[in-house]
Amino acid sequence: MNWLDLHDVASWVKSPGKAQESPRGFPMFQTPNVTVTKKSEAEVSGRGEIILAENVDTIWYIETKDRKTRFASRDCERFLAIREELQEQHPDLYIRGIMLTSAPVDDETKGVLEEEDCMLIYVPEEKRG
């Protein structure tokens, strides 16, 4: 399994395997309402795809960044913009974001994401398929 491949991650979210298979910190949840969708179809900013996983009162959105360069503040801003746009579309639901990345991330960016109740999970080499 490659934890930076959205389709692999979506399959795991639908039917989680063993906890030790997941990157450290990835939540254990199971919901059948999981889709990999283009950002434009989800009516959020940016290009590429994200995972949307809906359960009774929460929408999780999951994005991946597989690269060697640093996870920049603009990446953080774009990621948080998706949260805001989803919140506008679904005002009665709790929106929670998970960023899976192989990129180095500075402590300030980690703090910003944590304050916004989003998860940033580093995917080590052995979890990259």
- Contact yes or no for 23/123 (Cβ under 8 A): yes
User: Sign of torsion, CA 2 67 64 7?
Assistant: negative
Tell me the pLDDT tens digit for each residue of 67-100: 888 888 889 999 999 999 999 999 999 999 999 9
Residue 3 binned pLDDT confidence (cut-offs 50, 70, 90): confident
Report the C-alpha gap between 84 and 106 in whole angstroms.
Answer: 23
| C-alpha separations of 99 from 14, 33, 80, 92, 95 in Å | 18, 19, 10, 23, 13
Report the C-alpha gap between 17 and 47 in whole angstroms.
Answer: 30
Does CATH number 3.40.1350 belong to domain 6-127? Answer: yes
| pLDDT value at 40 more than 80 | yes
The mean pLDDT value of the chain amounts to 88
State residue 85's pLDDT score: 95
